[in-house]
Chain A
Amino acid sequence: MKRRGLSIVLASTLLALAGCGSSGGPGGDNASPSASPSAAPSGSASASASGEQEQVELRISWWGDQARADLTNKAIELFEQKNPNIKLTGEFAPFDGYFDKLNTQLASDTAPDIFFLGGNVIDYANKDVLLDLGPYVGNELKLDDMDPTMIEYGTVNGKLIHVSVGANARGIIVNKTMFDKAGIPVPQDGWTWDDYARISKEISDKLGDGYYGTYNFTTDGMDIYLKQNGKQLYDMANNKLGFEEADILPWFQYWDNTAKAGGVVPIELQVSNPPDDTGKSLLLTGKVAMTLLPSNNLVTFQGLTQDEFTMVQLPRGPKGTGVVFESSQGISGFAKTKHPNEVAKFIDFIINDPDAAKALGNNRGVPVTSANRAALVAEASPADKIVYDYTSRVSEQTKKEPFAISYNPPGNAEFIKLSDNTVQEIGFGKASVEKAVQGFYEGTVKIFESNQ
């Protein structure tokens, strides 16, 4: 038994080696006995058109937690049932490690055929590693029912390299149960940052030791804050940074002051129990009452606790809330995939098939096609309804106060790390706010320049 298992793996390793030598293609995963030598990269388009029974194995990767993985696996299963000749192997990692891994895989030509990307599409589009989906539109991939702004979002330098699978709007998630316990009214849309700081402190004071008003979201809320003040993180049209050091200093100061007043989670707790880690988040254990989250996360969070959540618009700055309804994440294909047709087919399935929508729900945001939205509205849970209600309020708001959709600056991963480090520097008392922000801005410029 043991020996047989061993020889099979050994054989597959050898096969992988042989396969790589001849085709120069990625990966050793196609080395199963069924992978016939006819799957030469050049003939794949015609092969799949004529030979219906050709077995194709694809790899797909995304970030997220187990709950999201369960939903995604369900959708993958459905896809496989409808396309018996395609087999998908899913991989997932938490957000932090996901992109490090993806980068490694891309550089070594071992990336999955399909992978999810977020606001950092630009970084990857610039590296020419994304599959041009243009040729498949209208055939395998139908976009007729998709919002034009979303299609535009995935089109970079004239090529469609990304298809959004969900839209969301960021907002303040509020633990109503904690507010009730503290005897404080739940905040309403239209509040200000001063309100936010005051209410956070009240929660901490009323509920006592170990309870806090809010997480510190300096990093996640930075682009919103800048937009509220007529600036932006990244000016894509002119390819330059959209803010100066002096523009961002007050934002860090605001958080420092709020933290010193006592309304914010202590930094070491924030590090050990990050807000979006569903395994550890203090929002779920009823210790923290508010934070900034994308609307699609509310359903996941609500499913994990007895406490009651709701969503409120962000506190307003001079120009408004700075929030728009935008792509939360989407799918791209690997430029060197051997099976681009099947990749397009899968993307089509995700955005157009109501069964996929029902399997995935709003986990990655509200579906981007009206058919799939309709499929979900029909069976919305109370948590879903809160999300719909919130996103429609945001849509209304943006009609009065339009804001541009934001792309992340090049070198986003490094930038996020820098920003988090700056918050920690201030939080752990390693540097004054002014000094930390000075270092932050210098670092931002450096990252921006080295990623051109």
Chain B
Amino acid sequence: MLSFKRNYAHTLRHALVILFGLAMLYPVLWLLASSFKPNQIILTDTGLWPSTFTWDNYRNGWKGFQGVSFARFFGNSTLVSILCVLGNAATCSFAAYAFARLEFRLKKLWFALMLMTIMLPYHVTLVPQYIIFSELHWIDTYLPLFVPKWLAHDSFFILLMVQFIRGIPKELDESATIDGCGHWKLYTRVITPLLAPALITTAIFTFIWTWDDFFSQMIYLSNIKLFTVQLGIRALFDPTGLSDWGALMAISVLSLLPITLVFFFFQRYFLDGIATTGLK
């Protein structure tokens, strides 16, 4: 009797969680379904299953606009993302190594400043940064997008890796030092391999944030040929009004694909990464 009741409650909760999950996914499913509907019925056919199925939207959308195809936008986004990922992984781990393992003058001061920059809203540096990049004639190039990453600008990841390196037993360093390793060797041979999970977390977050970034790309890029996927979508959305919703939906689906794939491949690092950084 009691177990029946408990079972019942259990099933109910399960059903609720599933139902709620479906509701959560509805916008994504709607987007996916719309991308396969013929253009004329997208706004009238409300069902999640397309009554008529077509690939045209993908074909049309991929063509892009003004003679620039989305292949180029995806290429551009990939390039920018990769440059950012490499920059963040390298320079943030350098800084983290220094903070976690080395003793030096003013260390406490720098560390405190680093912590403060994590919480600093970007507004306050936005205008001068723009002016600096503009003076350097970097506007309309990718430099303003990735150079900051090569200067360890995302301090969040420094903190993440400092925490991680602190968890690596110091004995390893010491035995390596006895073997005559310098700091560079210590960093590359001992720390980096052990740091892999944190590096991966850094890499995938940087990738996703860069891929999704809209604001700085919009500010710094104006030549269509340099457009990223986000700018391409926004541009497609703008001038055509309703004329090609299907293409817009199809490209939107494609734009979400890379981050979704990265997520599924690295799910473990992802969720653990969030959980551990959150707690420490």
A positions within 8 Å CB-CB of B: 5-6, 9-10, 13, 16-17, 20-21, 24, 26-29, 59, 64-66, 69, 73, 89-94, 97, 101, 104-105, 107-110, 277-280
Interface of A is mostly: mixed
Pairwise interchain contact A28-B241, C-beta atoms closer than 8 A: no
Pairwise interchain contact A97-B242, C-beta atoms closer than 8 A: no
Query: Please, could you name 14 A-B residue pairs with CB atoms under 8 Å apart, sorted by A?
Result: A6-B79, A9-B79, A16-B140, A16-B141, A17-B141, A27-B140, A28-B141, A29-B223, A66-B243, A69-B65, A89-B224, A94-B241, A110-B223, A280-B242
Within 8 A of A (CB), among B218-249: 219, 222-226, 235, 238-244
Smallest beta-carbon distance A89→chain B, Å = 7
Across-interface contacts of A104 in B (CB, < 8 A): 219, 222
Which 7 pairs show the lowest CB-CB distances between chains A and B?
A: A279-B241, A279-B242, A20-B137, A108-B139, A110-B140, A28-B141, A29-B223
CA distance A16 to B144 in the complex (A): 13
Pairwise interchain contact B238-A109, C-beta atoms closer than 8 A: no
Cross-interface CB contact of B143 among A17, A90, A93, A280, cutoff 8 Å: A17
Pairwise interchain contact A92-B239, C-beta atoms closer than 8 A: yes
B positions within 8 Å CB-CB of A: 65-67, 75-76, 78-79, 82, 130, 134, 136-143, 219, 222-226, 235, 238-244
Smallest beta-carbon distance B52→chain A, Å = 22
Pairwise interchain contact B239-A108, C-beta atoms closer than 8 A: no
Across-interface contacts of B76 in A (CB, < 8 A): 9
Across-interface contacts of B241 in A (CB, < 8 A): 65-66, 94, 277-280
Pairwise interchain contact A24-B137, C-beta atoms closer than 8 A: yes
Across-interface contacts of A90 in B (CB, < 8 A): 66-67
Pairwise interchain contact A279-B140, C-beta atoms closer than 8 A: no
Smallest beta-carbon distance A108→chain B, Å = 4
Pairwise interchain contact B79-A21, C-beta atoms closer than 8 A: no
Pairwise interchain contact B223-A59, C-beta atoms closer than 8 A: yes
Smallest beta-carbon distance B166→chain A, Å = 36
Pairwise interchain contact A9-B75, C-beta atoms closer than 8 A: yes
Smallest beta-carbon distance B60→chain A, Å = 12
Pairwise interchain contact A93-B75, C-beta atoms closer than 8 A: no
Smallest beta-carbon distance B135→chain A, Å = 10
Across-interface contacts of A24 in B (CB, < 8 A): 137
Smallest beta-carbon distance A303→chain B, Å = 12
Pairwise interchain contact B238-A97, C-beta atoms closer than 8 A: yes
User: Quick one: given A91-B224, A97-B238, A279-B242, are A10 and B140 in contact (CB under 8 Å)?
Assistant: no
